[in-house]
Structure 1
Amino acid sequence: MSSMHTRRIVTSALFVALATILSFFSITVTNTLEIRFNGLAIAAAGILLGPGLGCAVGGLSDILGYMVHPSGAFFPGFTISYALTGLIFGLIVHKKPSVSRVLIAQAVVTIGVDMLLNTFWLSLMYGNAFMALFAARIVKNVVLYPLYAVLLCVVAGPIRQRSAQFLTKLN
């Protein structure tokens, strides 16, 4: 195995560990409304490592997070959502990090994954009407979008500055 592959595997594992640790810290508002911060590590993995590894980090961190610290029932739909988060950030931001791309990726994740897909998963899990859940989750996501976007821009700044050097070592 070349050093390039070793670095990518180790870096991916570090992001899985970070996302798993961050999954321990959440703010539960209701059983269908929760604020989590592990998505930041998953997004950073997609930004730095690309869509494939970002996707893997998202999926693996959700599974590992549940195994280490189960809270509620495991539902594979959320594993898909976390994997999509890493994939989306990898597709939009990887190798071209900029504030505008981070904002676009976060908007796609917020609307496509958090508001639509996760609301669908919750409606399946709890038997609640999609639109009833969606209305409550709109407020949460509108409030959290700027917070997540600012935090990701803070993360993307150093990634943008170091990405050329890092990616040269990885590629």
Structure 2
Amino acid sequence: MLFYTKRQPFQPVICTNTLVFSAIFISLIIMFTNVFAIQTPFIRISLSFLPIVMCSILLGPLLGGIVAAIADVLGCMFFSPGLFFPGFTLSSFVSGMIYGYFLHNKKITLQRISLASVIVLLLVDLSLNTLWLSILYQKAGNLFLFGRVLKSLVLLPIQIGTIYAVSKPLLRYKLVRQQ
């Protein structure tokens, strides 16, 4: 077991392994979000969810959320100076928390992955991020919502399948513990 030591509940393990894996996940999130992505002002298609999910599975909800938020801030600093909006950082944190809550130290099933992905889709992508875009661009959220819903409906099965396929090696090599 790579990340497990005796500790109090909700107390993250801060050790060398945790710091190194957090840094790796931060760099992967930044790369998948800003370099390997198709982006318009209102819609982004990327695999940035994947390192957030894997980090949340391995390190837990709190560290998964913190890593996602740090990656958002650093990504804004390096790739889009002057365009930082704290709402998107909050959205990243909430995404990491949701994935960690549903998948960390629990049996990873297609149903759990689907439930976590749908909640992130509804709560974060369609609600919070649309709100942030409407605040940022001072336009009605309904203008953004149709394209975002369409993108989400197309990409949701791909996202669920990708998370399921990538999480299986973690289980096979016993990097995560299942209940």
Of residues 55, 61, 66, the one that matches 1:45 is 55
Q: Which structure: greater helix fraction?
A: 1
RMSD: 2.0
Cα distance in structure 1, aligned partners of 2:20 and 2:28: 12
Q: TM-score, normalised by structure 1?
A: 0.88
Residue number in structure 2 paired with 1:123: 134
Of residues 10, 24, 27, the one that matches 2:38 is 27
Q: Which runs of 5+ in 1 are unaligned?
A: none
| 1:112 lines up with 2:112 in the alignment | no
Of residues 5, 25, 39, the one that matches 2:15 is 5
Contact in 2 for aligned 1:26/1:35 (Cα 8 Å): yes
Q: 3-state SS of the aligned residue for 1:73?
A: coil
Residue number in structure 1 paired with 2:77: 67
Stretch of structure 1 that moved more, 86-95 or 17-26: 17-26
* Aligned positions, number: 164
Counterpart code for 1:166: L
Q: 3-state SS of the aligned residue for 2:44?
A: strand
Does the C-alpha gap of structure 1 residues 100 and 68 become closer, same or farther in structure 2, counting only changes over 3 Å? same
Contact in 1 for aligned 2:103/2:112 (Cα 8 Å): yes
Contact in 1 for aligned 2:38/2:46 (Cα 8 Å): yes
Counterpart code for 1:149: I
Q: 3-state SS of the aligned residue for 1:95?
A: coil
Q: Which runs of 5+ in 2 are unaligned?
A: 6-12
Q: TM-score, normalised by structure 2?
A: 0.84
